[in-house]
Amino acid sequence: MTASTSQSPSLRLLAVHAHPDDESSKGAATMAMYAASGVDVMVATCTDGSRGDIQNPAMAGEPHPKRDMAGARRLEMNEAARILGVRQRWLGFVDSGLPEGDPIPPLPPGSFALQPLQRAAAPLVRLVRDFKPQVIVSYDKKGGYPHPDHIMAHRVAVEAFEAAGDPARYPGIGEPWEPSKLYYDRAFSPERFRALHFALEEAGLQSPYAERLAAWLEADAEGHTPPPPAHKTTTQVDCGDYFETRDDALRAHRTQVDPLGFFFAVSPDMQRRAWPWEDYTLIHSRVPVKIPEKDLFAGLR
C-alpha cells in the first residue's frame, strides 16, 4: 500500500534538503528516531550533488566520483537512507555549485538555483500531495548557510507548504494536501556549538569550535554569547540515542565527509551529556500548539 492510497492515520515527516549528504548533517538523528518509532519519513533531495568537490582526503584517488560525481553520490545517498531507515526521493535538479571568486562568477545555466520558483517547486508540490506529510522540515531563508541551492531549497519548501493544499495552484499534479506544520532546522545553532565547545574544554580536549565562537562574538557588538539567532528554537527533539546512527549515515557520504573531520570532533556520549537534542523553529502551524515543544508532531497525535 503506497502513501498516496493509504487511508491509515499514520504520521508522516518530509525533510527537504538541497544535496545528498545534507539530510545526514541536519536533523538525521531526529529522522532516525521517528522512523524507528513507526513514523513514515521521506527525504526530498533537490539536486544531484554533481558539482560537489571531494571533501574526504581518503577518496581523492577514487575514479568513480571523478568520472561521475552524481552517480557516486546517488550510491552514497542510498546507503545513508538505508542506515537512517527513511525513504528518499530525487526532485531532479542539477547542483548549482558554490560560486567562488572576486567577482563571484554566474551560476551554471540550467542549475537548480536559477529555476523559476514554480518550476522548481512543482516536483515538491507533487511529492507533498502524494506522500501527504503532516510535517515539513527545511532551512531558513538564508539556507542555513548561504549556498544558492540551500536558499532555493528553502524557497521551494515554503512554496510547497503554502500551495500544496490549494486546488487552484499547481493544477493537474495530484489531489490537494495541506501539511499542518512547517519547521526550520537549526542544526548549526550557536547555542549547541557553545555547549559542545565548553564540554570539550571541561574535559581537557581541544575544541574545533573556538574560532567559530570567537568570530560570532567579534561580530556581535553587544557581546551576546552566542549572538541572538534569526529564529529562536521552539522545539527540541530528544534524539541522543540515535547520534551513532546519524554519524554512520554521515560516513556513508564518503566523497563529502571526512571521518576524521569536524562532524566527529565530539563523541556521541559527550554530545548526549552536553546537548542531547536536535533543534527546530516552528514557523507555521495549522493545529493548536504550545511552545516550547518536544515533538515535531505535537498537536497531531
Residue 216: the pLDDT is 67
Please check the confidence at residue 219 and state whether its pLDDT lies above 50: yes
pLDDT digits (tens, 9 = 90+) for 86-102: 999 999 999 999 988 88
- Which CATH number covers residue 119? 3.40.50.10320
Reported confidence tier of residue 5, pLDDT bands at 50, 70, 90: very low
Residues 135 and 42 in one domain: yes
Please tell me whether residues 212 and 77 are part of one structural domain: no
Task: Give the C-alpha distances (Å, rounded to integers) separating 228 from 154, 223, 231.
Answer: 21, 10, 8
Q: Cβ neighbours of residue 204 under 8 Å, at least 6 residues apart?
A: none
Q: Let me know whether 25 and 162 are in one domain.
A: yes
Say yes or no: 57 and 171 in one domain: yes
Judge whether 5 lies within some domain: no
pLDDT for the residue numbered 222: 56
For residue 223, what are the domain limits?
Answer: 190-228
Residue 106 lies in a domain: yes
> Is 151 part of any domain?
yes
Q: Kindly state whether residues 157 and 223 are assigned to the same domain.
A: no
Residue pair 183/137 in contact (Cβ under 8 Å)? The answer is yes
Note the pLDDT of residue 8: 39
CA dihedral 181, 29, 1, 163 (to 10 degrees): 30
Say if 153 falls within a structural domain.
yes
Q: What pLDDT does residue 204 have? A: 92
Co-location of 66 and 171 in the same domain:
yes
On whether both 175 and 33 belong to a single domain, the answer is yes
Residues 92 and 184 in one domain: yes
Q: What pLDDT band is residue 220 in, cutting at 50, 70 and 90?
A: low
pLDDT value at position 257?
94
CB 173 within 8 A of CB 126: yes
Same domain as 107, residue 75: yes
What's this model's pTM, rounded to 2 decimal places? 0.92
State whether 90 and 141 are in the same domain.
Answer: yes
Which residues lie closer than 8 Å to 73 by C-beta, 6 or more apart?
A: 19, 20, 21, 48, 49, 50, 52, 65, 253, 255, 256
Answer whether residue 174 is part of any domain: yes
Report residue 286 as a C-alpha cell.
Answer: 495549522
Residues listed for the chain: 301
DSSP assignments along the chain, one per residue: --TTT--S---EEEEEESSTTHHHHSSHHHHHHHHHTT-EEEEEEEE--TTPPP--GGGTT-HHHHH-HHHHHHHHHHHHHHHHT-EEEEEEEPP-----SSSPPPPPTT-GGGS-HHHHHHHHHHHHHHH--SEEEE--TT-SS--HHHHHHHHHHHHHHHHTT-TTSSTTSS-----SEEEEE-TT-HHHHHHHHHHHHHTT---TTHHHHHHHHHH-TT--SSPPPSS---EEEE-GGGHHHHHHHHHH-TTT--TTSGGGSS-HHHHHHH--EEEEEEEEESS---SSBS-TTTTT-
Q: Is residue 3 part of a domain?
A: no
Indicate if 39 and 107 belong to the same structural domain.
Answer: yes
The torsion defined by the Cα of 243, 246, 247 and 253, in degrees rounded to 10, comes to -170
211 within domain boundaries:
yes
Residues 117 and 219 in one domain: no
292 preceded by a cis bond (ω within 30 of 0): yes
Please, are residues 157 and 136 in contact by the beta-carbon 8 Å criterion?
yes
Number of independent structural domains in the chain: 2
Per-residue model confidence as pLDDT tens digits over 71-80 = 999 999 999 9
pLDDT given for residue 228 in this prediction: 63
Q: How high is the pLDDT of residue 11?
A: 98
pLDDT tens digits, residue range 224-263? Answer: 555 566 789 999 999 999 999 999 999 999 999 999 888 8
Q: What is the mean pLDDT of residues 33-47?
A: 98
Q: How far apart are CA 285 and CA 19, in angstroms?
A: 26
Task: Identify which has the larger pLDDT, 173 or 207.
Answer: 173
- Residue 245 in domain: no
